[in-house]
Structure 1
Amino acid sequence: MNDYEDVADEIYRLRELKQNALVENAEREGKRRRISEMTDFLNEQSCELEEYDEQLVRQFIEKVTVHGNNFEVEFKSGIEIQIDK
């Protein structure tokens, strides 16, 4: 009986690991897709930006966090960059 429970526990553990791996893979694929979309959009632009573009910011930036002398920009693709003054 104990062997059966051990095997059953292992099966449940492996199923959970598989489910977690599938979720992580889907999240990673979503990030790749968003990065690809951002790259395609930026490559399609014919000129350099010379002024603030609200639509562009809302399309690509998730949030900006200010920390004293620097700030961090998190893009919707999941990429984060830190900018020091």
Structure 2
Amino acid sequence: MFSLYRLREDKQKLQLEGAGRDEQKKRITDMGTFLREQPTTLTEYDEPLVRRLIEKVTVYENKFTVEFKSGVMVDVKE
């Protein structure tokens, strides 16, 4: 039998997970809006754009992984 405390804890956990997903969706939407406002062709390195969009880049022997601030990760292979 479930206890009331256990159900409350589960409810709170689910609410926190939902809030995290909502925040990630908002970041992705914001990134999409920002990208649509940019010129369609990038011809040179844009430091403010990189700082706004990219959280980190991890370099491996045969690929690198770009982690965007939205939480999306992309592997780029040689």
* TM-score, with length taken from structure 1: 0.84
Q: CA RMSD in A?
A: 1.3
Aligned residue for 2:41, secondary structure, equals coil
Report 1 or 2 for greater relative contact order, CA contacts < 8 Å, sequence distance ≥ 6.
2
Instruction: Please give the per-residue CA displacement for 1:54-84, whole angstroms capped at 9, x wherever unaligned.
Output: 1111101111111111011110101011111
Asked if residue 38 in structure 1 is aligned to residue 25 in structure 2, the reply is no
Higher Cα Rg, which structure: 1
Where do 4+ consecutive residues of structure 1 move more than 3 Å? none
Q: 1:68 aligns with which of 57, 61, 66?
A: 61
Residue identity in the other structure for 2:46: D
Aligned residue for 2:71, secondary structure, equals coil
* TM-score, with length taken from structure 2: 0.91
- Displacement, 1:30? 0.6
Listed as ranges, the gaps of 5+ residues in structure 2 are: none
CA distance in structure 1 between the aligned counterparts of 2:30 and 2:46, rounded to whole angstroms: 18
- Displacement, 1:15? 1.0
Alignment-derived partner of residue 26 in structure 1: 19
Listed as ranges, the gaps of 5+ residues in structure 1 are: 1-5
* Between structures 1 and 2, the one with greater helix share: 1
Aligned residue for 2:44, secondary structure, equals coil
